[in-house]
Amino acid sequence: MTSQAKTSQVMTSEAIGSATARLLLEAGAIHVSRGRPYVLAAGWASPVYVDCRLLIGEPRFRHEAVRLAAAAVAIAMKPGSFDAIAGAETAGIPFASWLADTLDVPLRYVRKRQLGIGHNAQVEGGSVERLRVLLVDDLTSDATSKVSFASGLRQAGAVVTDVLTIFYHSAFPGAGDRLSGTGLSLHALATWDDVLRADLEEGLDGADRRLIEDFLADPVAWSMRHGGRSTLQAHRR
C-alpha cells in the first residue's frame, strides 16, 4: 500500500481531524437547528445533524475526504493489515469505493440485511471468505449498525476488526462498549472535539457553537428534554 506509507509521513491524527472538520464545515455538512431538533437514526434528539453525504457530490470535497481517509488508514493500520474494503449500505459504499481505488485493494459492500431475492446475499461484490476486511461507513453514533454490518461480513467468512468512518457522533453513550464487546476498533476522521477546535468562521457562528456546546454538556438529558431517546435501548445507528 504505497499510498499509506506516503501519506503517513505528512499527517498526524490531529491534523486529519482538523482538516476533516474544516472540510465538513466548508461543505455545509454540519446543520444546526435552533428550533425543532433533529432525530438521529439511533433515536436521539440533537440540535445538530452531520450530513457526510454532502461530501459525495463535489469532486474537490470527495477527493479531500478520500485523501484524509487514506492518511488515517496509514496511521491506524499496518501496511497489508487488510485484504479488502467493504462499504456499508448506503453512504459508506461510495467512500469505500474511492478508498479502495486509492489503496488499490478489492472492494465489497455489505447490506443492512439479506436481500431476500436472487442469491439472498448480504455481502456483494465477491466472496469475503477468509479475507481481512476493513469496514467503511460515513458516520457512527451509537455503533449498532456497525456491529450489524460486521456481523454480516463475519457470517460470510470475513475477519473484521476495524471500522473507518468520516465522522464519529461521539456525544452519546454506549458506542465504545458496543464496539469493544464485539472485537471492533473504530477509526474516525473527525469528532465533535475536532469541529469545535476548527475555525468556526468557515460555517458556524457564535450562537450555533453555544447551542452545540450546551447539547454536548449532557446529550442524553438534552435528547430527553426534546422528545428523543433517554435510554441505551432500541438504537440503530
pLDDT (tens digit per residue) in 26-46: 999 999 999 999 998 888 899
pTM of the model: 0.90
Pick the closest to residue 45 from 192, 231, 222, 236 (CA basis).
222
Q: Is the pLDDT of residue 117 over 70?
A: no
Q: Is the pLDDT of residue 177 over 60?
A: yes
Q: Is the pLDDT of residue 9 over 90?
A: no
* Confidence category of residue 213, pLDDT binned at 50, 70, 90: very high
Q: What is the pLDDT of residue 8?
A: 40
Rounded CA separation 236/43 (Å)? 8
E-strand stretches of 14-173: 30-32, 38-39, 45-46, 48-50, 84-88, 107-110, 123-124, 132-140, 159-168
For residue 6, the number of C-alpha atoms closer than 13 Å in the C-beta half-sphere is: 9
Residue 5, number of CB atoms within 10 A of its CB: 10
DSSP 176-230: HHHHHHTT-EEEEEE-HHHHHHS-GGGT--HHHHHHHHHHHHSHHHHHHHTTS--
Q: And the C-alpha cell for 94?
A: 461510495
Greatest extent of the chain over all pairs of C-alpha atoms, in Å: 53
Q: Is the pLDDT of residue 18 over 90?
A: yes
More confident position, 58 or 115:
58
pLDDT-wise least confident of 24-33, 108-117, 121-130, 146-155: 108-117
